Amino acid sequence: MDKKDLEEIEKWKKQKMNYVETYGVDIFHEKKKKKSVKIFEKLFNLLYRIFKAILIILIFVIIIVTLTGIIMYYSYIDSKLHVDPVETISNMYSVNVEIISKNIDEDRNGNYVLTTKENPNIQFNAHVNWNSLTQDYADRCHKYFYEKWENENKEKLNIIENIAENNILSYEQYIKIENNEQLENAVNLIYDLREFAGEDFSPDWNIYIIAENQRMYLFNSANYSREETLKRMQEMYDRVMNGEIVEPRPNPIGEFFGGM
C-alpha cells in the first residue's frame, strides 16, 4: 500500500469522525444497516406472498374436498333411500336400460316404462316406492321370445300369465311329467327355448317342471349345458320320486329392496 492510499484511508477516517461528532451517528454504518434491512424486507415479503398463495390453494382444496364429500354422502343416502330403476335393472341384467315414459311424483316414486338398447322391441315396466322396486324385465323377455319361437311342440308348455297393479307382468311356464321319458322331453323342449333366446335368456325366467306336485327349476345359472341340465334334473326327479322335498326357487323374481 503506497503513501497515497494511506492518505485516502486517513482522510476517510477523519471524515467519518467528523460525521459522528456532528450528527452523533455513524451514517456509513447506518447505510449498510439500511441495505441489510431492505434485503430482509424483500425476502420477508416474498415468503409472505408464497405462504399466502399456498394458504389460499389449501383453503380452496379443503372446500372442494368438503363439498365433494357432502355430495357423495347425500348421493349415497339418496341411493339407499330411493332406488334408481335404470341403474338397478342395468346392473341386475347387464343391459343398457332407457326410459320411454314415466308417471312419477316429486320424489321420483311411481311407474316407469322402459326398454333396452340391446333389444328396443321389448318394453317392460317398473314401479318404484322409495327403496322398493318391482319390475317385469325377465317376464317380458320370457314372453317375447316364447311368442317369437317357432317350435311345433311349444304348446306343451303351459302358461300362467297375470298383470298386476302398475302393469307389472307375471309370466311363468311349466310342463307336468310322470316318468323319465317325459322328463327328458320336457328338459329338451325348455332348453330349445333357451337356445332360441340366446344371450337374452336369463335364469330369472320362471319356467319349471312339475313332478309329484313339486316344482323343479331347470336353471340357477345361464352357463349350464344341455347335458348338465339333463343330469341335474334327473337327479332332482329321483329325489322327488324318493319322497324328498326339493329346494324351492330361492328369491322372488322382479323384486328389489334396497336399504341401509
Mean pLDDT by 10 residues, the chain (260 residues): 58 59 52 58 78 87 82 58 90 95 92 96 95 94 97 97 93 97 97 95 94 92 87 95 84 54
**Where in the sequence is the domain holding 103, given as residue range(s)?**
85-257
Q: Is 68 in the same domain as 166? A: no
Q: Is 67 in the same domain as 137? A: no
Q: Is 99 in the same domain as 201? A: yes
pTM of the model: 0.69
The angle subtended at Cα 122 by Cα 121 and Cα 124, nearest 5°, is 145
Alpha carbon distance, N-terminus to C-terminus of the chain: 93
Residue 211 pairs with which residues in a beta bridge? Answer: 214
Q: Is 116 in the same domain as 65? A: no
Q: Is 126 in the same domain as 58? A: no
Residue 159 pairs with which residues in a beta bridge? Answer: 173
Name the one residue in this structure whose C-alpha cell is 302393469: 167
Three cell numbers written together for 42: 424483500
Compute the Cα dihedral for 78, 79, 85, 86 and give only its sign: positive
3-state secondary structure of 131: coil
**End position of a domain, from candidates 24, 50, 78:** 78
Q: Is 91 in the same domain as 70? A: no
Q: Is 115 in the same domain as 240? A: yes
**End position of a domain, from candidates 25, 60, 78:** 78
Q: Is 93 in the same domain as 47? A: no
**End position of a domain, from candidates 78, 98, 129:** 78
Q: Is 118 in the same domain as 147? A: yes
Give the model's pLDDT for residue 60: 86
In sequence order, the 6+-apart residues with CB closer than 8 A to the CB of 128 are 82, 83, 85, 104, 108, 109, 110, 112
Q: Is 43 in the same domain as 105? A: no
Residue 258 pairs with which residues in a beta bridge? Answer: none
Give the model's pLDDT for residue 259: 45
Convert 154-191 to b/e letters by CB count within 10 Å (16 or more is b).
eeebeeeeeeeebebbebbbbbebeeeebbeebbebbb
Phi, psi of 197 (to 5 degrees): -70, -25
Q: Is 160 in the same domain as 212? A: yes
Q: Is 192 in the same domain as 92? A: yes
Number of structural domains (the chain) is 2
Three cell numbers written together for 31: 447505510
